[in-house]
Structure 1
Amino acid sequence: MRTARKGSVEMPAFVRQLVKETEKRVSSLFKGSRGGATDGEQPGEEEREEMMPSPYLDRPVLDKLAEEGSARWGLTYALGSMQGWRANMEDFHNCVPQLGGELTDWSFFAVFDGHAGSTVAEHCSQHLLSHILGTGGIEAEDDPEKVRGAIIEGFLQTDKQLHSVARREGWERGGTTVVSTLISPYYIYFANCGDSRAMLCRSGQVCFSTEDHKPYSPLEKERIESAGGSVTFQRINGSLAVSRALGDFNYKGAENRTPSQQMVSPEPEVCVVARSPADEFLVLACDGVWDTISNEELCAFIHNRLCVCTDLRDVCTQVIDLCLYKGSLDNISIILLCFPGAPQLSAEALHQEAELEDLLESKVAEIYDELCARGEEPDLLSVLTVLASTVIPGLPPGGGIQSKRNCIISAYYQQRETHKPTSPNGLGES
């Protein structure tokens, strides 16, 4: 584990204002049902704040959790996770490169994205795998249909056990999405429950990705309405933004309906993909990643980064920073799994990367000098704005100028140091 350095990102004023105004509108809309002001009255600012505290911070938490490991059959992996703009960290994960026993060549990885608190996500991260294995359907001689059934049953058993704990501990409001993968010597099993996502890249292209479970998707909406719910503002009953999750028992009370037929279903969508020597890497990530970058962009970006970086933790960190700079306001978690066929370090790619960073440093110096010559204050935002409108060849595919922002920031502060006024004794300012 390690912690990356803190940065100096600040939430744009218009975003803060948008969040604030949205909170006011939603508070006003639901004030009657939430015990606020009576009809015809306008709740005061303090009451609105109390009714709906902001889910965002004034400044993001940029400390990163990073882990790495490997399996004896040739898999290497890394995890990167960051709280970001969210008031709380609600993501958890599982990284089990070898299951042990007869399943020593099997691996399991999962990302849990909690909502309405982190308790359910943490609990499920500790128990889901044991429930899947406890079904007895995972055997060394794997039968895809049998394994698929075991995974589904493991999710349902986890939700059932969680329900009894939730009633005892008062967790009814909490829930978590899950995206996971179980890798055998012959197959990759993807299990998705919610709007986190898995993606497999093969021969430099997106080979497979899971489908997000959103309330407005036709089949999900049909189930929600059949269970007595509605889809308003693209959310279940105007509130919950995902249609499948573990927990969220306030949405699972419809009588005479199975768990999979409730407004929020705990049943994962399980897909099986045969392994190939052309498999390069697999990504599991929460929606804090996918809200800002497409499957194709992330595949291209990671493929490029693997050619210039041997530390998978650094690749995960670069993805997290890219999503932050592209506007993600959520917790950000990513697990990167590399197969033996993953891109390797390339001398040509390293040379191109060095040339790109030299070019960016010279561009920053150029812009800094131009702004000084005009008598303008060469602050970082001004430099970034000019640079963003400049054609820069050789930027990482899928990442663009945002993916080199740390390099640009470093070059900017070098210019500030170079241009620092000197004192009469020639020693410079203290």
Structure 2
Amino acid sequence: MGAFLDKPKTDKQNKGGMGNGLRYGLCSMQGWRVEMEDAHTAVIGLPYGLKDWSFFAVFDGHAGAKVSAFCAEQLLEHIIANEDFRGKLDVTDGTEVQPSLEDVKKGIKTGFLKLDEMMRTMPEMVSGEDKSGSTAVCCIVSPQHIFFANCGDSRAVLCRNGKCSFATRDHKPVNPEEKERIQNAGGSVMIQRVNGSLAVSRALGDFEYKNVEGKGPCEQLVSPEPEIFIEDRSPEDQFLVLACDGIWDVMTNEELCAFVESRMKITDSLEQISNSVVDTCLYKGSRDNMSIVVVSFEGAPKVSDVAVKKEQELDAKIETKIRELLLKESPENQDLPYIMHMLSTELDDSFPPGGGLAAKKGFIESTYYKLRPNDEQDDEGP
């Protein structure tokens, strides 16, 4: 779904911050899509006595950017301000007690449902002028726990001790429990989409799929109910990644964790790492908007002199190989795709884990155009 541009828009939006023993960096890029429909939220230190809690979220809009933008502004407030989340008052002195695990789970669900209910009353939604919707994936990090909430096919992963130890589950219409709900609401799943149209089975907004009489909000063709998971924090926690499906379409959980971990050993800039992920996914063929938030814990990998030297040696090898190929190959074998093919064949084991050749394509292109005899850049695109 959605139209594409002739060339991708590669300008990036970056943001970073730190606090509560966390650091974060994010990147979003429009890419090949005609419109940027992604949004994000990153907050270190929450109100209502939760200054040592933090919140991160990615929203992937479809059929417009209205719902995703509104969710980025309002979801956190709807979660932490509702009575289910905020827990109980201490009867001895009237102070508010921090929410229990059950309070947080209930409050997250209530926040999602109340936000969805509120958006339904917006004039453009009531009139049908705006039919947009959005997936949502968020993490609340408290001193002892990480709360994951997912609605749709944006995804969050936790890297612990060098491995992807947890990932949220995508909500697709073909999933048995999702398909059953859709059919019970009088809908169907065709070409892996709700009524042959929508590719996700849970989302905020999308009110044209939420009008079945006699069914509650979580029983509709498309449900706004988040799936919630809780992980105990561990000294072995390294980082979290939250991203839209523009990232996950071309990288697996394990690939992304391996790639981010390898980049953390050569730079401590999480914005730069996020940019590297987005560029790599563009080169791997992602045609969607892309947004990613990387959140590092105190146990995250540190910059390593050995890793930095290895990266420099790889760059030197690439430059030497390109120079050799341009000198010895006939003109018809000097185009960039052929050079990329040869580099892939001869240096395959040297490329960054999880990213492969695509992780170095930007460097390869710039080196190629610097070295080749004819310095007119081909219009070949990513």
TM-score for both structures, normalised by structure 1? 0.82
Q: Deviations over 1:234-254 (max 9, x none)?
A: 000100000000010110111
Aligned to 1:398: 354
Whether contact under 8 Å (1:245, 1:265) holds in the other structure is yes
Does residue 1:413 correspond to 2:360, yes or no? no
For 1:344, what is the secondary structure of its paired residue? coil
**Cα drift, residue 391 of structure 1:** 3.6
Aligned to 1:164: 121
- Determine the C-alpha separation between the residues in 1 that align with 2:331 and 2:305: 42
Letter in 2 for 1:103: L
Does residue 1:245 correspond to 2:193, yes or no? no
**Cα drift, residue 376 of structure 1:** 2.5
Aligned to 1:67: 15
Aligned with residue 389 of structure 1, among 345, 349, 362: 345
Aligned to 2:41: 94
Aligned to 1:294: 252
Aligned to 2:108: 151
CA gap of 1:274–1:318, structure 2 versus 1, over 3 A, is same
Counterparts of 1:1-12 in structure 2 under 5 Å? none
Counterparts of 1:271-420 in structure 2 under 5 Å? 271-371=229-329, 374-376=330-332, 378-416=334-372
Aligned with residue 226 of structure 1, among 181, 184, 187: 184
Aligned with residue 68 of structure 2, among 115, 121, 126: 121
- Determine the C-alpha separation between the residues in 1 that align with 2:39 and 2:127: 20
CA gap of 1:228–1:168, structure 2 versus 1, over 3 A, is closer
For 2:225, what is the secondary structure of its paired residue? coil
Counterparts of 1:10-159 in structure 2 under 5 Å? 55-71=3-19, 73-136=20-83, 137-138=85-86, 141-159=98-116
**Cα drift, residue 259 of structure 1:** 0.1
Whether contact under 8 Å (1:120, 1:171) holds in the other structure is no
Counterparts of 1:163-202 in structure 2 under 5 Å? 163-165=120-122, 166-168=124-126, 170-202=128-160
Larger Rg: 1
Whether contact under 8 Å (2:67, 2:133) holds in the other structure is yes
For 1:273, what is the secondary structure of its paired residue? strand
Letter in 2 for 1:65: Q
Whether contact under 8 Å (2:238, 2:299) holds in the other structure is yes
Whether contact under 8 Å (2:266, 2:304) holds in the other structure is yes
For 1:105, what is the secondary structure of its paired residue? strand
**Greater RCO structure (CA 8 Å; 6+ sep):** 2
Whether contact under 8 Å (2:10, 2:31) holds in the other structure is yes
Letter in 2 for 1:308: I
**Cα drift, residue 414 of structure 1:** 2.0
- Determine the C-alpha separation between the residues in 2 that align with 1:311 and 1:175: 32
- Determine the C-alpha separation between the residues in 2 that align with 1:357 and 1:187: 40
Q: Deviations over 1:263-310 (max 9, x none)?
A: 100000010001011100000000000000000000000000000011
**Cα drift, residue 377 of structure 1:** 5.9
For 1:65, what is the secondary structure of its paired residue? strand
Q: Which runs of 5+ in 1 are unaligned?
A: 1-51, 422-430
- Determine the C-alpha separation between the residues in 1 that align with 2:203 and 2:273: 29
CA gap of 1:361–1:209, structure 2 versus 1, over 3 A, is same
Whether contact under 8 Å (2:140, 2:146) holds in the other structure is yes
- Determine the C-alpha separation between the residues in 2 that align with 1:387 and 1:173: 46
For 1:390, what is the secondary structure of its paired residue? helix
Letter in 1 for 2:24: Y
Whether contact under 8 Å (2:369, 2:375) holds in the other structure is no
Letter in 1 for 2:352: P
Whether contact under 8 Å (2:325, 2:339) holds in the other structure is yes
Letter in 1 for 2:265: C
For 1:117, what is the secondary structure of its paired residue? coil
- Determine the C-alpha separation between the residues in 2 that align with 1:201 and 1:420: 43
Whether contact under 8 Å (2:125, 2:207) holds in the other structure is no
- Determine the C-alpha separation between the residues in 2 that align with 1:218 and 1:60: 36
- Determine the C-alpha separation between the residues in 1 that align with 2:112 and 2:234: 27
- Determine the C-alpha separation between the residues in 2 that align with 1:168 and 1:215: 25
**Cα drift, residue 420 of structure 1:** 6.5
Let me know the Cα RMSD of the aligned residues: 1.7
Whether contact under 8 Å (1:172, 1:249) holds in the other structure is no
Q: Deviations over 1:378-425 (max 9, x none)?
A: 2322322322232444211111111011111121122126x769xxxx
For 1:128, what is the secondary structure of its paired residue? helix
Identity, in percent, stands at 48
Aligned to 1:209: 167
**Cα drift, residue 126 of structure 1:** 1.1
Decide which moves more: 387-396 or 220-229: 387-396
Following TM superposition, the consecutive aligned residue runs of length 4 or more in structure 1 with deviations greater than 4 angstroms are: none
CA gap of 1:219–1:420, structure 2 versus 1, over 3 A, is closer
Q: Which runs of 5+ in 2 are unaligned?
A: 88-96, 377-382
Decide which moves more: 265-274 or 359-368: 359-368
Letter in 2 for 1:57: L
Letter in 2 for 1:79: L
For 1:195, what is the secondary structure of its paired residue? coil
For 1:322, what is the secondary structure of its paired residue? helix
- Determine the C-alpha separation between the residues in 2 that align with 1:342 and 1:171: 46
Whether contact under 8 Å (1:76, 1:338) holds in the other structure is yes
Greater strand share, structure number: 2
**Cα drift, residue 171 of structure 1:** 4.9
